[in-house]
Amino acid sequence: MTALSPALKDYLSMRRALGYKLRRTEKLLVQFIEYVEASGADRITIDLALAWARLPAGGDLNWWSGRLSVVRKFATFINTIDPDTEVPPKDLLPAPKSHRAVPFLYSDQDIAALMAAATIFSSPLRVLTCQTLIPLLAVTGMRVGEGIRLDRKDVDIAAGVLTVWLSKFGKSRELPLHPSTVDALRAYLQKRDQLYPNPSAPSLFISTAGTRLLYCNVQWDFSRLVRRAALKPRSKDCRPRIHDLRHSFAVRTIIDAYREDADASLRLPLLSTYLGHLHPGNTYWYLSAAPELLSLAGQRLERSLKEQA
């Protein structure tokens, strides 16, 4: 028999060493271990895992499947130490098949419309923040969470460089900025200091209370701006999302390479580094669903074939 709580610490330490944060996983597994101990059992069984995963009763199948998946990985780890530990089979509570949304690629006009729509907010600071954060995400391809986590010290105005610290998989990176982006950030900081000279948080972007922005509030504001700007879904699977600002940056970077008749394959590793991906392969799926990019690639291939004929 293996004590589950100490084993959980070992399991989390091992996976975090690989770059996973596992905050939600830790919370769920602590709850699961408490459930197992409350049942009087001394090890993981399929019945216990299934019963816990199906909480609350009447829950969504995706939710149940996700909970069981967390236990399955932990049980697999424990099974290597205690062979009597039962591992729930993968076909138990399978999640419904899903597919990734088609990226909504924002044009310059779309970004301008979102910025103009920000005037619906009554707070000048809120307007200023939206009109700076959204275009910054669009021209750097940063994840939304990375933009929110930026501190003021992470922006070197003199050098024109922005530093993203310990993002996904613990990676940090420096992002060179275009002079126009540097000017926009300089103007934002000057106006921000006038509107709120003594914020309580060190963050670059602050709320009307002087605190760091919350993702849920940024998402809510963005949804309002999309409606105000009248940006419509292009299909049932292609709807304007804030994360698609990152997709748009990636696609437009490669489109620029094609239009300049440059070697897009050489630009891909640079783009991957700029986006903070572990490997260029992680960047590929950002590009694979863009009709505009596929069209340009097809035109280049056709031209190449004609030259060879």
The SS3 assignment for 200 reads coil
Letter string b/e over residues 244-263, b meaning 16 or more CB atoms within 10 A of that residue's CB = bbbbbbbbbbbbebbeeeee
Instruction: Indicate if 223 and 251 belong to the same structural domain.
Output: no
Task: Enumerate residues 6+ apart whose C-beta is below 8 A from 151.
Answer: 202, 203, 204
**Cα(66)–Cα(63) distance, rounded to whole angstroms?**
5
Is 95 a member of any domain?
A: no
The tally of domains found in the chain comes to 3
Structure tokens that stand for 300 in this block: 């280049």
Would you state the pLDDT for residue 296? 56
Residue with tokens 């106006």: 191
Same domain, yes or no: 126 and 32 = no
Domain with 47, as residue range(s), is 4-79
Which pLDDT does position 274 carry in this prediction?
84
Say whether both 70 and 114 belong to one domain. no
The per-residue pLDDT for 281 is 66
Same domain, 221 and 248: no
* 143 shares its domain with 174: yes
For residue 27, what pLDDT is reported?
Answer: 94
How many helices (H) and strands (E) would you count in the chain? 13, 3
Whether 89 is covered by a domain: the verdict is no
Q: Which residues are catalytic?
A: 143, 168, 243, 246, 277, 286
For residue 291, the surrounding DSSP H or E stretch is: helix 291-308
On whether both 199 and 173 belong to a single domain, the answer is yes
Confidence (pLDDT) at 156: 97
Q: What is the pLDDT of residue 88?
A: 95
**166 and 257 part of one domain:** no
Q: What tokens were used for 302?
A: 């056709």
Rounded (to 5) percent helix, strand, coil in the chain: 60, 5, 35
Same domain, 27 and 69: yes
Domain assignment present for residue 90? The answer is no
Helix (H, G, I), strand (E, B) or coil at 84: coil
Residue 239: inside a domain: no
Choosing from 198, 228, 258, the residue where a domain stops is 228
132 and 67, same structural domain?
Answer: no
Domain check: are 115 and 208 in the same one? yes
Q: What is the pLDDT of residue 95?
A: 76
CA neighbours closer than 13 Å in the CB half-sphere of residue 53? 24
Radius of gyration for the chain, computed over Cα atoms and rounded to the nearest angstrom: 24
- End position of a domain, from candidates 168, 194, 228: 228
Give residue 306's pLDDT.
Answer: 57
CA 15, distance to chain mean position in Å, is: 20
pTM of the model: 0.66
Half-sphere exposure of 222 (CA within 13 A, CB side): 22
Domain CATH code at residue 217: 1.10.443.10
Residue at 93 is within a domain: no
Tokens of 250: 């990636």
For Cα atoms 237, 242, 244, give the angle at the middle one, nearest 5 degrees. Answer: 55
pLDDT recorded at residue 16: 81
Question: Is residue 117 domain-shared with residue 215, that is, in the same domain?
Answer: yes
- Is residue 171 domain-resident? yes
pLDDT at site 168 = 76
Q: Are 77 and 12 in contact (CB under 8 A)?
A: no
Task: Give 46: exposed, middle or buried? Use CB within 10 Å, 0-12, 13-18, 19+.
Answer: middle
The three-class DSSP label of residue 270 is helix
162 assigned to some structural domain:
yes
Q: Which of 162, 194, 228 is the last residue of a domain?
A: 228
| Series of mean pLDDT values for 10-residue runs along the chain (309 residues) | 84 82 92 94 94 89 92 93 92 76 88 97 97 97 95 97 85 93 97 96 96 95 96 89 91 80 76 79 64 57 54
**126 and 188 assigned to the same domain:** yes
pLDDT of residue 25: 94
Whether omega for the bond prior to residue 83 falls within 30 degrees of 0, making it cis, is: no
User: Within a domain: residue 269?
Assistant: yes
